[in-house]
Amino acid sequence: MNVVLIVIDTLRSDHLSCYGYFRETSPTIDRLAREGVLFEDSYAAGIATGPGFTSIVTGLYPVRHKYYITPYNVPNAYQLDDDIPVIAEMMWDAGYVTAAVDNLINFRSHMKHFVRGYEYYMNPTKTSRWVHHHVTAAEVNKKVLPWIRQHSYERFFLFIHYWDPHTPYNQPEGYRRVFTHERGDYSSLRVLRAPAGYEYVPGWGKVDEIVEGDEERSIDLYDGEILYVDSAVAEVVEALKDEGVLDETLIVITSDHGEQLGQHGIWGHAGLHESVVRVPLILRCPKKLPSGLMVKGYVQQVDIVPTILSLAGVRVSYEFDGVDLTDVIRGKVRRDFIVCETWGERCIIKGEWKLIVHYEPELRVIREVFPEPRWPHPRPIKTIMERVKIE
């Protein structure tokens, strides 16, 4: 069995058609979901890119791997401990050919653990490291597609990182006008002012400082980016099919975090609102997993590594924070709650309640009201906030 782990940056699940979005943004991802397993209640473990990706490749929560985004965008002073294995190392040790098309090595913070374990690490970035997120899906696929064709005869683990739909929304022109906002579609969306605790990086996330023009147009561009990256995923699927290895391959689709898109008065991915912490998780492996299954119940990024290892038959002695999702599919494992964190705040989610703790002398309790039914996708979530003083 081969493994293709695809992480689509900044992709909130509720903007995918297969998660109930009203626009057809993701035909290829939808098809993979129909042919595999879609997890309805999938959450990030840490926000933003650094913590999220580190949880994806280690199977650990940030409190254990200790990679956080730091205030004022100061580079992270912490290097991932060499004793903490990453997925590529484990797959390499098991005899897999390992490859990545990714440029997180260019990231401002120390992210050298993203090259560990790879026989082939292909960086699609042609410009300065400060604009790593400008890399397009087409540039990524220029590395991905030839590699698949050249190595399809081997047993491989391939990690693909697409920056789309992250800003600056630089998709090809044909994908910039594919969606036009129609008034009324977002009539139930409430834009609220963010509490001070969410503004821990000055200037990050303020709508009036980030977005030129109206918010509706920005949502149109974001959705166009999703359709664009979906077309890149289609090329990967087609390459696997052409090489005769599609059904021999586990495909994992997920994201590091979502995007606020103006909700809560925030642009970007600051905070721990549902729009940021809910991410897609889809698995396709027809010889080992059911098809057309939608699984309810909490799952997180930390579950990806133990699941890949289980399906690949790779045994390791390391203790992960995550669980094997095949046990979730069979109903053997079910979480009562989940946790997520970012610099300056942590949250616990249980049912319709979310408790966010800010590292300041107060608590904020947020009740996320989920209109029924939760599937297909409900109206945008309304948020009720209460401030509770700590004595």
- Read off the pLDDT of residues 338-369 as tens digits, 9 standing for 90 and up: 999 887 788 999 988 889 887 755 444 454 44
Residues 6+ apart with CB under 8 A from 210: 167, 267, 268
Q: Which residue has the tokens 């997890």?
A: 39
385 pLDDT higher than 60: no
> CA–CA distance from 189 to each of 166, 180, 215, 225, 296 (Å)?
21, 17, 12, 21, 25
- Read off the pLDDT of residues 226-260 as tens digits, 9 standing for 90 and up: 999 999 999 999 999 999 999 999 999 999 999 87
Count of other CB atoms within 10 angstroms of residue 160: 23
Summarize the confidence of residues 64-92 as an average pLDDT.
Answer: 75
> Would strands 37-43 and 249-254 be described as parallel, antiparallel, or unpaired?
unpaired
Q: Give me the pLDDT at residue 137, please.
A: 94
372 pLDDT higher than 80: no
**Confidence class of residue 271 from pLDDT cuts 50, 70 and 90?**
confident
Q: ∠311-102-87 over CA atoms, to 5°?
A: 30
> CA–CA distance from 181 to each of 206, 214, 278, 302, 376 (Å)?
22, 11, 23, 36, 21
Summarize the confidence of residues 3-12 as an average pLDDT.
Answer: 97
This prediction has a pTM of 0.84
Query: What rounded mean pLDDT belongs to the chain?
Result: 81
Summarize the confidence of residues 39-50 as an average pLDDT.
Answer: 91
Count of other CB atoms within 10 angstroms of residue 214: 11
Q: In the structure encoding, which two tokens stand for residue 285, read together?
A: 């492996």
Residue among 341, 273, 258 at smallest CA distance from 9: 258
Q: Give me the pLDDT at residue 260, please.
A: 78
Backbone angles phi, psi at 100, to 5 degrees: -140, 140
CATH top-level class of 2-335: alpha beta
Residues 6+ apart with CB under 8 A from 261: 12, 215, 218, 219, 222, 267, 275
> CA–CA distance from 192 to each of 195, 206, 261, 262 (Å)?
9, 12, 12, 9
3-state DSSP of the chain = CEEEEEEECCCCHHHCHHHCCCCCCCHHHHHHHHCCEEEEEEECCECCHHHHHHHHHHCCCHHHHCCCCCHHHCCCCCCCCCCCCCHHHHHHHCCCEEEEECCHHHCCCCCHHHCCCCCEEECCCCCCHHHHHHCCHHHHHHHHHHHHHHHCCCCEEEEEEECCCCCCCCCCHHHCCCCCCCCCCCCCCCCCCCCHHHCCCCCCCEHHHHCCCCHHHHHHHHHHHHHHHHHHHHHHHHHHHHCCCHHHEEEEEECCCCCCCCHHHECCCCCCCHHHHECCEEEECCCCCCCCEEEEEEEEHHHHHHHHHHHHCCCCCCCCCCCCHHHHHCCCCCCCCEEEEECCEEEEEECCEEEEEECCCEEEEEEEECCCCCCCCCCCCEEEEEEEECC
Q: Give me the pLDDT at residue 128, please.
A: 52
> Would strands 97-101 and 156-162 be described as parallel, antiparallel, or unpaired?
parallel
Cα 185 to Cα 195: distance, rounded to the nearest angstrom: 27
Cα 329 to Cα 333: distance, rounded to the nearest angstrom: 8
Neighbour order of strands in the sheet with 362-369: 338-342, 345-350, 353-358, 362-369, 382-389
**Confidence class of residue 207 from pLDDT cuts 50, 70 and 90?**
very low
